[in-house]
Amino acid sequence: MLTCAKGLSAAYAPISALLVNDKVYEAIADRTKALNGFGHGYTYGGHPVSAAIAVEALKIYEEERIVEHVRNVAPRLQDGLRRLAGHPLVGEVRGVGLMAAIELVEDKASRRSFPIERGAAQALSSALAQRGILLRALGHTLVFAPPLIIQAADIDMIVASVADSLDEIAGPLRNAA
């Protein structure tokens, strides 16, 4: 199963979908037939305005070759961030496509996290904001989900800024212990 939402309408209108494989579909269809119906839904499910926007957004994605673009630039983001894995504050770099995360740790060898009140990921996010880059801190992790139209030069700038920001916060985080 795969859930999707914002990408269906480029976040211009509320819409979501659940994509299922044949095995899941058949199980639902069999039970629906056995129960003589499948009662589910929500108030604005299948709203024609959202559906029309989603159809147009999907056409634009195809016309603009967005998926191909993502396949071309995503390795640059993943490889660039993985090069930061050796930094003393980085416990793990993970991701796929244009989604990624850097988990910050106090002790690299044991992968022990910083105490949450030290706000390590928030400090990194703040240092990046000073450089004009807005990334979300979640717990001990900095999350990357750039626009699908991001360009290679922008990825390079983000990765370089993350590296600089990691260096900038390393001393203050260590000294705060």
Pairing of strands 141-144, 2-4: unpaired
CA-to-CA separations, 56 to 18, 62, 89, in angstroms, rounded? 19, 10, 43
Question: Could you give the domains of the chain?
Answer: 2-63 (no CATH), 67-175 (3.90.1150.10)
pLDDT by residue for the chain (177 residues), tens only, comes to 988 888 888 888 888 888 899 999 999 898 888 888 777 766 667 788 988 999 999 999 999 999 999 999 999 999 999 999 999 999 999 999 999 999 999 999 999 999 988 899 999 999 999 999 999 999 999 999 999 999 999 999 999 999 999 999 998 887 876
Helical H segments across the chain, by residue range: 6-9, 22-35, 48-63, 66-82, 120-130, 152-175
Q: Label residue 121 left, alpha or beta by phi (over 0 means left) and psi (-120 to 50 means alpha).
A: alpha
